[in-house]
A and B are shown apart, each in its own frame.
Chain A
């Protein structure tokens, strides 16, 4: 019975191809909108979150903008490090210097810091070691350079060859003790030449770096990130006469959370818009099904006369609208795959067809077929057999 109904439904859909296609168009467009938009946002979201987690562990960055003549020193950072939910603190003083590359002079980005910086910001080394406490205590002129610097300035394609070599920054020779692993993310390291040197060494080298005005903090765990932020806040408030404008505290975890909330809302919104277009497609289906029921009044009458129950007439029309929606959804999924493949082929982005979105779109289409097919199907089933039989249309 069901099998015959499906056969009849396919025959009926196939018997008027243009109209069936126009009817499906709403569903096709709705499915394409849903699948393409959500696949793109989902792809983008996971790319963004991957990028964020690759930038840093969930650290907290503090910048002092007004030190009220009570500047922080390295020993003050030890106080902050001893706060209950804080694991480690390291200064992050940024400056720049000149290095020679053959006959040219290049600028190098210098970050003056201490040993804990490596673990707080998750700096990965390709070779050598990071700055140690002894280097900071002794104002040692050592540098951890990035791969570009090792390659361009020292000509060392194999990073381990750079260890022990000397580079001259602003006329002062620095011994290379480590090379940072090349980041996958080119966008995130704009400066092509970078080096980490002991904070105390930078204080001597630079004319501007005197006190600690910027530092990074690792909370004991991600879970206490908020608590750590509060502790730091109250420490700084008491230090800077309760002036909350004297400093800024940026918690990467909060930023990441906010960002994922934003993308979540965005995919919800786009999904909603696409779902509405699918719904409009459903109304199109209902419209055509109603026309079809009226046109086929005579057929319904004949079927009833030879013994079709209301249930079997209902089933026939429901299956027909279901078949319309399923074929529409199938075509929509195919077009979506083509569009995504097209975007990937002609742009630098890599998006992928989200399997969950495809399943949701299919289920949604089936639901629409059933919901919007229900009323026309019931109308067909309820027709009076005698009137239907004598319908001249």
Chain B
């Protein structure tokens, strides 16, 4: 086992049965992400991107194949163990932000830390650091509906950042944002990556995919390396 791999998928398949039909959302997928890498996954709608993200994010388990996260195989884990991995190792960033509307920015960022069982003082420290890192500390008492789309997504990034995850997992993080805001967000991802964080970014936008240091394309559940820019562009 290579110590340097944050993600390693080996022949991972996900098969859905709908009536008599079987859909291979992932078909013997092989891919890896090194520690400290910024990798994008690009593919058209229905290609299996979200399925991949769910398995990598431990929200779902594969039908067959092996998945190693940070050197440990994610298999036969109980639902509670998967929750624990999501809590401590994965930092999710979703297209539609997925912030809790009733909680303030501060409370949203604090929530995963509560589930980690951290003391209030430790939580405050980490929330403050995370909100400062994305420049929204002075908006900490605002609720999501009092924030712009870009600000919401930055709060979501802070929520991921606060837990010090092994992997940032972003599914179309700029999909609901205008180009300028999206660009600003990508700058944050670059900065996070420069600070040593591992990022897997899922998108169907070639311009976004290009931001990553390496791209992986996915078509009908088949995953393969995208060698250059033209390959990225012809995927979608």
Q: Which A residues contact B (CB, under 8 angstroms)? A: 1, 4, 11-12, 15, 298-299, 301-312, 385-386, 389
Excluding A298-B98, A305-B98, 8 further A-B contacts by CB distance (< 8 Å) are A12-B102, A302-B99, A303-B115, A306-B159, A310-B80, A310-B83, A312-B115, A385-B59
B227 lies within 8 A of chain A by Cβ: no
Nearest-neighbor residue (CB-CB) of A302 within chain B: B98
Contacting residues, chain B, for A307 (C-beta < 8 A)? 83-84, 86-88, 112, 115-116, 163
Q: Scan residues 47-83 of chain B and give those whose CB is less than 8 A from a CB of chain A.
A: 54, 57, 59-60, 79-80, 83
Contacting residues, chain A, for B117 (C-beta < 8 A)? 1
Partner among B54, B60, B111 whose Cβ is within 8 Å of the Cβ of A306: B111
Once the chains are docked, how many angstroms separate the CA of A4 from the CA of B115? 10
* Contact indicator A386/B100 (Cβ below 8 Å): no
Contacting residues, chain B, for A306 (C-beta < 8 A)? 86-87, 92, 111-112, 115, 159, 163
* Contact indicator A305/B59 (Cβ below 8 Å): yes
Once the chains are docked, how many angstroms separate the CA of A73 from the CA of B165? 105
B23 lies within 8 A of chain A by Cβ: no
Contacting residues, chain A, for B100 (C-beta < 8 A)? 299, 302-303
* Contact indicator B112/A386 (Cβ below 8 Å): no
**Chain B: minimal CB distance from A76 (Å):** 87
Contacting residues, chain B, for A310 (C-beta < 8 A)? 79-80, 83
**Chain A: minimal CB distance from B113 (Å):** 10
Once the chains are docked, how many angstroms separate the CA of A305 from the CA of B96? 14
26 A-B contacts (beta carbon < 8 Å): A4-B114, A11-B102, A12-B102, A298-B98, A301-B98, A302-B98, A302-B100, A303-B111, A304-B83, A305-B59, A305-B94, A306-B86, A306-B111, A306-B159, A306-B163, A307-B88, A308-B83, A308-B87, A308-B115, A309-B80, A309-B115, A312-B115, A385-B59, A386-B60, A389-B94, A389-B98
Query: What is the size, in residues, of chain B's interface with A at 8 Å between Cβ atoms?
Result: 25
**Chain A: minimal CB distance from B50 (Å):** 9
**Chain B: minimal CB distance from A302 (Å):** 5
Once the chains are docked, how many angstroms separate the CA of A308 from the CA of B94? 17
Q: Scan residues 88-113 of chain B and give those whose CB is less than 8 A from a CB of chain A.
A: 88, 92, 94, 98-100, 102, 111-112
Once the chains are docked, how many angstroms separate the CA of A90 from the CA of B32? 108
Q: What's the dominant secondary structure at chain A's contact region? A: helix
Once the chains are docked, how many angstroms separate the CA of A301 from the CA of B84? 15
Please give me the 4 A-B residue pairs with the lowest Cβ-Cβ distance, nearest first. A307-B87, A306-B112, A309-B83, A307-B86
Once the chains are docked, how many angstroms separate the CA of A360 from the CA of B64? 55
Nearest-neighbor residue (CB-CB) of B160 within chain A: A306
Contacting residues, chain A, for B102 (C-beta < 8 A)? 11-12, 15
Contacting residues, chain B, for A305 (C-beta < 8 A)? 57, 59, 86, 92, 94, 98
**Chain B: minimal CB distance from A118 (Å):** 75
Once the chains are docked, how many angstroms separate the CA of A222 from the CA of B117? 65
Given A302-B100, A306-B115, A385-B59, residue A311 in contact with residue B80 (CB < 8 A): yes
Once the chains are docked, how many angstroms separate the CA of A303 from the CA of B80? 13
Once the chains are docked, how many angstroms separate the CA of A138 from the CA of B117? 95
Contacting residues, chain A, for B79 (C-beta < 8 A)? 309-310
**Chain A: minimal CB distance from B23 (Å):** 15
**Chain A: minimal CB distance from B70 (Å):** 16
Contacting residues, chain A, for B111 (C-beta < 8 A)? 303, 306
Nearest-neighbor residue (CB-CB) of A388 within chain B: B59
Once the chains are docked, how many angstroms separate the CA of A385 from the CA of B54? 10
Once the chains are docked, how many angstroms separate the CA of A299 from the CA of B57? 18
Contacting residues, chain A, for B159 (C-beta < 8 A)? 306
Once the chains are docked, how many angstroms separate the CA of A305 from the CA of B54? 10
Contacting residues, chain B, for A15 (C-beta < 8 A)? 102
**Chain B: minimal CB distance from A12 (Å):** 7
Once the chains are docked, how many angstroms separate the CA of A105 from the CA of B58? 103
Once the chains are docked, how many angstroms separate the CA of A304 from the CA of B86? 8
Contacting residues, chain B, for A386 (C-beta < 8 A)? 54, 59-60
Nearest-neighbor residue (CB-CB) of B81 within chain A: A309
Once the chains are docked, how many angstroms separate the CA of A8 from the CA of B150? 26
